[in-house]
Structure 1
Amino acid sequence: MNWSTNAWEHIKPIYNSIVKMPFITELREGTLPVEKFQFYMAQDSHYLEHFGRSLAIIASRIQEVTDMLAFIKFAEGAIVVENALHESYFKEFNLTGKGNMQPACHHYVHSLKSTATLASVEVAVAAVLPCFWIYREVGTFIYENQNTAANPYKKWIDTYAGDDFDVLVKQAIEIADRLASKCTTAQQQAMTDAFCTSSHLEFQFWDAAYTLRTWEDSL
């Protein structure tokens, strides 16, 4: 069993919880309240900027040139391509700005950036992988289980269920497996731990959007 297959087995309960959570269910049905999607998009705009920076840090540290180029492309996609998608959503859903970064997003991006900077590059690659892999799986799940042709969130669904994104996800998984194949058992476990942590944070990100969780809620 390669590393990625084993890692996915570890986070299956998290993924199963994600596809059952209200945010995903209502996104699939097209009934998600607009204010919750607005909150999500604003926070995701913050997230993508810092996710792109994390990917760029990894690109600067990774040794194999082809993998370095792949992570440069990933970073560009996060910052340029997906921000363009967000800009169109900002107009469509009447968002005038992204506001402040809220707790779930703050926790996630700082976890990624510190891991990308301070952990081994193998662990860093594992930490950013859930954002690729889980989004593809969720996008595909929603696409295959839609019950309306007039879903206002169709563009979002089509992006993450699309072939172009699938190619990037497969490439990221292959890089992680290649790096893991050269690691000790202990190093592979550290990769899995980072993968699991980021998967938990993916759940928290969507849950925070559904509950509109802000810093004031913790006071």
Structure 2
Amino acid sequence: MTWSEYAWVAIEPIYQSIIAMPFITELQDGTLPIEKFQFYMAQDSGYLEHFGRALALIGARAHDTDDVLAFLRFGEGAIVVEKALHESYFNDFGVAEHGMLEPACHHYVHYLKSTAALAPVEVAMAAVLPCFWIYKKVGDYIYAHQHAGDNPYQRWIDTYAGEDFAISVRQAIAICDRVAAATTDSVRERMTEAFITASRLEYRFWDSAYRLVRWQSVG
């Protein structure tokens, strides 16, 4: 069993919880309230900016030249997608700016950036993998189970169910399997822990969008 096969088994219950959550089921059938998708889009825009920086940092720390190039391209792709959000989805759904990072997004991006900077690079690679892999799996699931008819979120669904994204996902998985096979048992365990933690944060990201979770006012 490869590291990625083992890691996916570890997060299968999280994935099943994600595809059953109201945000996903309502997105799938096109009934998700617009204000929840607007919240999600704004937070996703902020997330992608920081995610791109984490990927670039991993690229700078990678040992293999091919991995350096791959993660720099991943980082570039995340920034390009973030810019596309402003030019398309933001206009389509009436979102002005991404604004401040709310709690779930703030927690997630700072976990990824601190891991990218301070953990062994293999662990950092595992920490960013759920954003590739879970998004692809969720996109494929929604695409396969969506109902017939006009869905206002169809373009978003098509983006994550598309082949261009699938190529990056397969490459990220292959890199993690290769570095996992070459490292120690201790680092592999930390890779799995990071993969599980980031998968939990994926769930929280969508859940917070559905519940419109913002910072509480104090003072």
Superposition TM-score, scaled by structure 1 size: 0.97
The corresponding residue for 2:6 is 6
Structure 2, gaps ≥5 residues long = none
1:47-62 equivalent positions in 2, closer than 5 A: 47-62=47-62
Note the C-alpha offset of 1:183: 1.3
After TM superposition, give the deviation of residue 86 of structure 1 in Å.
4.5
- 2: CA distance, partners of 1:176 / 1:202: 19
Tell me the residue number matched to 1:91. Answer: 91
1:100 paired to 2:97: no
Match of 1:31 in 2: 31
> Are the counterparts in 2 of residues 39 and 212 from structure 1 also a CA contact under 8 Å?
yes
8 Å CA contact 1:10–1:196 kept in 2: the answer is yes
* Structure 2 residue identity aligned to 1:50: H
CA RMSD of aligned residues (A): 1.2
Q: Percent identity?
A: 62
What's the counterpart of residue 187 of structure 2? 187
Who is 1:73 aligned against?
73
How far is the alpha carbon of 1:81 from its aligned partner?
Answer: 3.1
**Secondary structure class of the residue paired with 1:216:** coil
1:123 Cα deviation from its structure 2 partner:
0.1
Distance 1:46 1:82 in 2: 8
2: distance between equivalents of 1:140 and 1:82? 21
Q: Could you tell me which residue of structure 2 aligns to residue 205 of structure 1?
A: 205
Deviates more, 1:96-105 or 1:199-208: 96-105
Residues 190-213 of structure 1, C-alpha deviation per residue, up to 9 Å, x if partnerless? Answer: 000000000000000000000000
Report the AA paired with residue 62 of structure 1.
A
Question: Quick one: distance in 2 between partners of 1:180 and 1:106?
Answer: 28
Q: Are the equivalent residues in 2 in contact too, given 1:3–1:180 (CA < 8 A)? A: yes
CA deviations 1:121-159 (Å, max 9, x no partner) are 000000000000000000000000010330000000000
The verdict on how the C-alpha distance between 1:217 and 1:156 changes in structure 2, with shifts beyond 3 A counting, is farther
1:109-188 alignment to 2 at 5 Å? 109-188=109-188
Q: Does the 8 Å contact 1:48/1:83 carry over to 2?
A: no
CA distance in 1, matches of 2:217, 2:160: 31
Deviation sequence 1:155-188 (CA, Å, 0-9, x none): 0000000000000000000000000001121111
Superposed structure 1 runs of 4+ greater than 6 Å apart: none
Shift of the 105–218 alpha-carbon distance from structure 1 to 2, 3 Å rule, reads farther
* CA displacement, residues 64-91 of structure 1 (integer Å, 9 cap, x when unaligned): 1111101011000000134314430110
* Deviation by residue 1:17-56 (Cα, 9 ceiling, x = unmatched): 0000000000000000000000000000000000000000
Q: Distance in 2 between matches of 1:216 and 1:83?
A: 29
Residues 217 and 132 (structure 1), Cα distance of their counterparts in 2 relative to 1, 3 Å cut: farther
Aligned amino acid, residue 67 of structure 1: D
Unpaired runs of at least 5, structure 1: none
CA shift, 1:97, in A, is 1.4
Amino acid at match of 2:183: C
Q: Conserved in 2, the CA contact under 8 Å of 1:139 and 1:157?
A: yes
